Structure 1
Amino acid sequence: MKQMKLFSMLLVCFVLLISACSGGNNVQTNESVTKTEAVTPTEEVKTEPEPQPEEVVDLGGRVIKMSAWWDLTPAGTTASDKARLAKIAELEKKYNMKIEFVNVPFGEYMDKFTTTVLAGEPFADIVLLEYKSALPAALKGQLLELSEFTKPESNINNEMNLVVKSASLAGKEYAFDNPTTLAVGVHYNRDIFKKLGLPDLQELYSKGEWNWEKFIEVAKLATKDTDNNGKIDTYGFSGWAAQVGRILVAANGAKVADDSTSKEGLSDPRTIEAMEFLNHIYNVENVAKIKTGDKVNWEETDTFKDGDVAMFIASEWQMPDLTFDVGIVPIPNGPQGTAEVTYANTAAASRFIPKGVKDPEIVYQIFEEMQDVPQLEEYPGQDYLESLYGHEEDIQMIRDHIYGTGIIVLDEAYPEYPFNSFVEDVIKNNASVTATAEKYKQQAQASIDKLGK
């Protein structure tokens, strides 16, 4: 009997054990079904689209030409140059073409451009042009607008870290170039400032005290006979009066000639105010060194290189091989100016694609891809600026307060535009600024109108 009870108990335990195992299997099966139902054959599975292979155009051995009035070929002496040469070789293979850098002397450049474009066979696919030459070409329909050869996805229309849009011409976009950092400002001879105990211009700027009045004050302090021999041996300022005038007009919120509105700027009250200040520098305070004996001689541009001038308006490219320590601050704004514009760029140049170039979209695409090389600089133009300036504070001043504050002024693009005559009458012949502006304003407007026809 006891054995029967024991057997019955064992049998019940065995049944319960079988049930428990069977229930566990059901749970696992249900979980498996649940997971399987999350991706059933009847539902569409979302997947990432397959990347499309890049469409590469075979140019059949075509030569893509890029021109300037100097040799643009990377020298191959720096890491950046070597990377560019490697990129060029890569692109030549990729597109089955050759890239040629065309060097045409400056004096022959525009004649070659004009004759070849008019013949329908531009001498280069991408040309470097000064803005003063590009404006007439644009107005005559000899240049393509950016929209005619760039795409919405082009770097120039997005990040602009490879290629940037240059300033517009007559209200339209034509030009492009590499990112860089340029500087036009009041440079000053640190050696003279130290010798004469003059106030540091960067400190004046940081205090908000750098203006036209302070400029004259410092220039007067620097114009003196330091050895008491009866002759001035240090000067407050030097420069080509016409170029200085254009820059002062911009720093006072105006343009000598406005290509965007096709209006003369000589009669603008802001221009007249700037010209009064120019006259103050040259004829009232007499703080400018005139090396050639002619106040309006363009060669006065380089007078500062003698080392006896305290302040001078110049571009960064004029700094190599100086015999003195140099610093820089923005050109001081006039009463009507703003910090957003501190100078007029009268020598601006950029890259353009002439009308008549075959497959301009591909030509531009190749140029843009050429720029896609490892960036070894912390910012565009770092090596360039560091080769010109010996003080980090000067480079920081350029990057923070000067770069990007220039406007392109194109009065020299218009035939017989009378700004230089305006300057000569005022600075050399002591004529009234207001009367001289009235004298030349009609000629100035006629010059603008003539080019636009």
Structure 2
Amino acid sequence: MKAKLSLLFLALLLVLAACSGNNAATPQPSDPPENENKTEAPPAEEEKEPEEPEVNLGGREVRISQWWDAEPKGDSVADELARERIANVEKKYNVKISYLNTEYWSTSEKLSASVMANDPFAEIVRVPDGFIWGLMNGGFLTPLNDYTAASRMSDEMIEAMKFGGDTVYGLEGWFNDNESGVYYNKRLFKEAGLKNPQELMEEDNWNWAAMVDAAKKLTVDNNGDGKPDQYGLAGAHYVMSEMMIASNGGRIYDESTSKVMFDAPESMEALNLLHSLYNEHKVVKENEGNDWEDPAKYFAEGIIAMYPGGLWEIEGRIVDKMKDEWGYVYFPKGPKADAYLDRLGGTETVVIPKGVKDPEVMVKIWAELTDFDNWEENRRLSLENILPDETSVANAMNDNGEARRVFGGRFGGLGIKDHLDSVTEKFLTGETTPATGIAQVVGPAQAAVEKVLSGEIDDEKEEEAGGEG
């Protein structure tokens, strides 16, 4: 019996050994496969940006005030895209967009009066140049610091919309890198055997000295009567003073310190140049009664080699009036400049009046109606229609990246430009020097600034312009 049991036990061991040998790589039940009895983790979902909460303003009218008819009615691509943006906004927020054409000089008064009556006349208002200071200081505007994330404005633009303070009051999509420069007559430069401003710029030699040199050589007496009948330059003294100060890295006013900057070294150097053009070099053609219109007229007539002016002037003053070939370049670099610098004096901006409901939504609506994505392309197309050649368009668009605006010096509405103009006007006759004239007006100009910033407003309308936007 024991022998039989022993044989059975031995056979069982052999069977187990055989099974073990044939499945050496197979884990035993006490050691289950890695994937057995485990549930695979689902694939990780991509993180989604949190969706904006739905905003329903119940069919409310959102009124947008400007001093022209801004409703897109044409059949251009830009107008079609604008209508599409309006439709998207109206659907998204359940609103009705309407445009108000408010008279320029009445805008500020209408805004302040309606806010005081607790009934803002519009939800979004474009304020003309010069009025922002009184509206800010009078408490008529909604502070926008908490809503800038919805505005799509760059950090630089957000800072600019503080107007030297700590509170954001304005909305602006962008500032073009270049808005003003020098128009030049190609024929006059060619006939004189001179390199024109574009050629000088390509050599990195377009500076104040080069402009003065060209202006002297291009101021000539062609008919031999003892008086020049062709001049190197023409312009309004009050425009050239701004452009020259900016081109040297200077400012007429410093927003951060609330100080008039007429007597800063950069400014004085520019004013000395302007004085010399009239009195030492005598290369600026005298205007014949209309400082605003005459210079562009002379340029169109072909008797001026260089005309400093704004891009806005092309359609009304140069295109279809200029017979000679012409071009556009930046204003030349001043001695203290490291780039081609352009002024930024105007204070025109978009605001939300105090008391407007849902200001954050209004900022979003403004941003979604503003063509952030296509503005550069649209601007290029516009410039291609009015500028004479690709090089001029490239300059106006700042394709080479060499131009920039001088920020932090907007002065429109502060009452200071008249003081500076009263000095530069005397340059025309040599009645005063920059040092003497500026010393006489810095104090009164500073007093004018402090009067405006303190909230004291004159009864008369402030009609001082602060340069092109």
TM-score by length of 2: 0.79
Give the match for residue 195 of structure 2.
199
One-letter identity of the residue aligned with 1:414: L
Call closer, same or farther: CA 1:204–1:49 in 2, change over 3 Å: closer
The question of 1:344 aligning with 2:338 is answered no
Displacement of 1:65 in angstroms is 1.6
Counterparts of 1:231 and 1:28, CA distance in 2: 114
Counterparts of 1:167 and 1:49, CA distance in 2: 34
Answer whether contact 2:185 2:326 (CA < 8 A) is retained. yes
Please say which of residues 18-27 and 229-238 is displaced more in the overlay: 18-27
Give the match for residue 359 of structure 2.
360
The question of 1:58 aligning with 2:59 is answered no
Give the match for residue 6 of structure 1.
none
Answer whether contact 2:236 2:295 (CA < 8 A) is retained. yes
Counterparts of 1:229 and 1:135, CA distance in 2: 53
One-letter identity of the residue aligned with 2:356: V
Structure 2: give runs of 5+ residues left out of the alignment.
1-14, 455-469
Counterparts of 2:428 and 2:286, CA distance in 1: 12
Give the match for residue 228 of structure 2.
232
Displacement of 1:23 in angstroms is 3.0
Give the match for residue 331 of structure 2.
331
Call closer, same or farther: CA 1:92–1:282 in 2, change over 3 Å: same
Q: 2:172 aligns with which of 171, 174, 177?
A: 177
Answer whether contact 2:66 2:102 (CA < 8 A) is retained. yes
Answer whether contact 2:219 2:231 (CA < 8 A) is retained. yes
Counterparts of 2:33 and 2:370, CA distance in 1: 56
Give the match for residue 266 of structure 2.
270
Displacement of 1:282 in angstroms is 2.0
Please say which of residues 382-391 and 111-120 is displaced more in the overlay: 111-120
Displacement of 1:333 in angstroms is 2.6
Call closer, same or farther: CA 1:48–1:107 in 2, change over 3 Å: closer
SS of residue paired to 2:184: strand
Listed one character per residue, the Cα deviations across residues 293-334 of structure 1 (whole Å, up to 9, x for unaligned) are 47xx34446343444321111111111224243322221232
Counterparts of 1:30 and 1:199, CA distance in 2: 93
One-letter identity of the residue aligned with 2:80: K
SS of residue paired to 2:204: coil
Give the match for residue 102 of structure 1.
100
Counterparts of 1:131 and 1:32, CA distance in 2: 80
Answer whether contact 1:235 1:288 (CA < 8 A) is retained. yes
Counterparts of 1:403 and 1:175, CA distance in 2: 24
Call closer, same or farther: CA 1:140–1:36 in 2, change over 3 Å: farther
Counterparts of 1:105 and 1:32, CA distance in 2: 85
Displacement of 1:404 in angstroms is 2.8
Please say which of residues 259-268 and 136-145 is displaced more in the overlay: 136-145
Structure 1 vs Structure 2 CA RMSD: 3.6
Call closer, same or farther: CA 1:352–1:243 in 2, change over 3 Å: same
Counterparts of 1:371 and 1:28, CA distance in 2: 70
Give the match for residue 3 of structure 2.
none
Call closer, same or farther: CA 1:210–1:53 in 2, change over 3 Å: closer
Counterparts of 1:86-97 in structure 2, within 5 Å, are 86-97=84-95
Answer whether contact 1:164 1:178 (CA < 8 A) is retained. no
Answer whether contact 1:166 1:176 (CA < 8 A) is retained. no
Call closer, same or farther: CA 1:248–1:260 in 2, change over 3 Å: same
Answer whether contact 2:194 2:214 (CA < 8 A) is retained. yes
Give the match for residue 283 of structure 2.
287
Give the match for residue 142 of structure 1.
140
Give the match for residue 435 of structure 1.
436
Counterparts of 1:29 and 1:447, CA distance in 2: 94
Listed one character per residue, the Cα deviations across residues 273-303 of structure 1 (whole Å, up to 9, x for unaligned) are 2211111112222212223247xx3444634
Counterparts of 2:51 and 2:442, CA distance in 1: 60
Give the match for residue 11 of structure 2.
none
One-letter identity of the residue aligned with 2:206: W
One-letter identity of the residue aligned with 2:163: L
Counterparts of 1:132 and 1:178, CA distance in 2: 19
The question of 1:156 aligning with 2:179 is answered no
Call closer, same or farther: CA 1:168–1:33 in 2, change over 3 Å: same
Counterparts of 1:36 and 1:244, CA distance in 2: 85
Call closer, same or farther: CA 1:116–1:29 in 2, change over 3 Å: farther
Counterparts of 1:409 and 1:171, CA distance in 2: 13
Displacement of 1:179 in angstroms is 4.0
Call closer, same or farther: CA 1:24–1:319 in 2, change over 3 Å: farther
SS of residue paired to 1:60: coil
Please say which of residues 88-97 and 185-194 is displaced more in the overlay: 185-194
Displacement of 1:71 in angstroms is 1.8
Call closer, same or farther: CA 1:167–1:198 in 2, change over 3 Å: farther
TM-score by length of 1: 0.82
One-letter identity of the residue aligned with 2:349: S
Counterparts of 2:375 and 2:452, CA distance in 1: 42
Structure 1: give runs of 5+ residues left out of the alignment.
1-14
Answer whether contact 2:260 2:445 (CA < 8 A) is retained. yes
SS of residue paired to 2:83: helix
Displacement of 1:59 in angstroms is 0.8
Give the match for residue 317 of structure 1.
312
Aligned identity (percent) is 27
Q: 1:216 aligns with which of 192, 196, 212?
A: 212
Please say which of residues 211-220 and 189-198 is displaced more in the overlay: 189-198
SS of residue paired to 2:343: strand
